[in-house]
Amino acid sequence: MTRLLIVGPPGAGKGTQAARISTEFGIPDISTGDIFRANIKNETELGKQVKAIVDAGDYVPDSLTNQLVADRLDEEDARPGFLLDGYPRTLAQVEYLDELLASRGHRLEAVVQLTADQDEIVERLTKRAREQGRADDSEEAIRHRQEVYLRETSPLVELYRERGLLLPVDGLGGIDEVAQRVAVALAERGIRPAAGAAGAESVA
């Protein structure tokens, strides 16, 4: 059973690494964005509530987000474990997740934190925006998103660091190179893909 959380600033390749971890460990990569979209598409009762809130331009409240995540973690594919991406975002959500997992006799095993020099990320994203012709994605806008991320996640990162769960990993470099760093960091914590898991391999 592998229960992980991944955090990282926009542009650090979090989505790519989350997909790699998901494949390696044979566990679902669960992001709140995907959960919202799936519930809206399937027109579930919770999905209708989310759509009404999003259409009004408001933020989905913790209570609704928590319920959607709890429902997702009850699905069959999450029984062997999961990788959460984009949740929890607030200390209240951390508390809810703690209680949810504890009620099932579970706990979070580690938090993979992709780190990267902000200036290098801004340079990378600015270059990508130019190449893709996205004039609205200015350096100023990119820096703002980085600052919002840092402001929102700093309390969570500190909390997980105090709990001894944080695994900082340099997120800059090639995809395979970063994936290997993640695998080594997890292995050093004693977290390895189960034999027979999709993509399971030994870490040197």
- In the chain, what are the domain boundaries? 2-116+165-188
In the annotation, is 51 catalytic? no
Q: Across-strand partners of 4? A: 83, 110
Q: 53-60: long-range contacts at Cβ-Cβ below 8 A with a sequence spacing of 24 or more? A: 60/36
Residues 159-195: pLDDT tens digits?
999 999 999 999 988 999 999 999 999 999 999 987 6
Please report how many Cα atoms fall inside a 13 Å half-sphere around the Cα of residue 117, on the Cβ side. 6
Q: What is the 3-state secondary structure (H, E, C) of the chain?
A: CEEEEEECCCCCCHHHHHHHHHHHHCCCEEEHHHHHHHHHHCCCHHHHHHHHHHHCCCCCCHHHHHHHHHHHHCCHHHCCEEEEECCCCCHHHHHHHHHHHHHCCCCCCEEEEEECCHHHHHHHHHHHHHHCCCCCCCHHHHHHHHHHHHHHHHHHHHHHHHCCCEEEEECCCCHHHHHHHHHHHHHHCCCCCCCCCCCCCCCC
Among 51, 89, 124, 143, the active-site one is: 89
| Least trusted range by pLDDT, from 11-15, 20-24, 157-161 | 11-15
- Mean pLDDT (the chain) is 90
Among 79, 130, 134, 163, the active-site one is: 134
For residue 128, what pLDDT is reported?
86
Query: Looking at per-residue confidence, does 176 or 89 come out higher?
Result: 176
For residue 136, what pLDDT is reported?
73
CATH 3.40.50.300 given to domain 2-116+165-188: yes
Q: Which band of pLDDT confidence, cut at 50, 70 and 90, is reported for residue 200?
A: very low
In the annotation, is 89 catalytic? yes
Q: What's the mean pLDDT in 27-39?
A: 92
Q: Is the dihedral of CA 28, 33, 35, 41 positive or negative?
A: negative
Q: What's the mean pLDDT in 99-111?
A: 95
Among 124, 145, 189, 192, the active-site one is: 145
In the annotation, is 128 catalytic? yes
Among 3, 14, 20, 181, the active-site one is: 14
Tokens 């997909």 locate to: 19
pLDDT beyond 80 at 199:
no
Among 128, 130, 161, 163, the active-site one is: 128
In the annotation, is 14 catalytic? yes
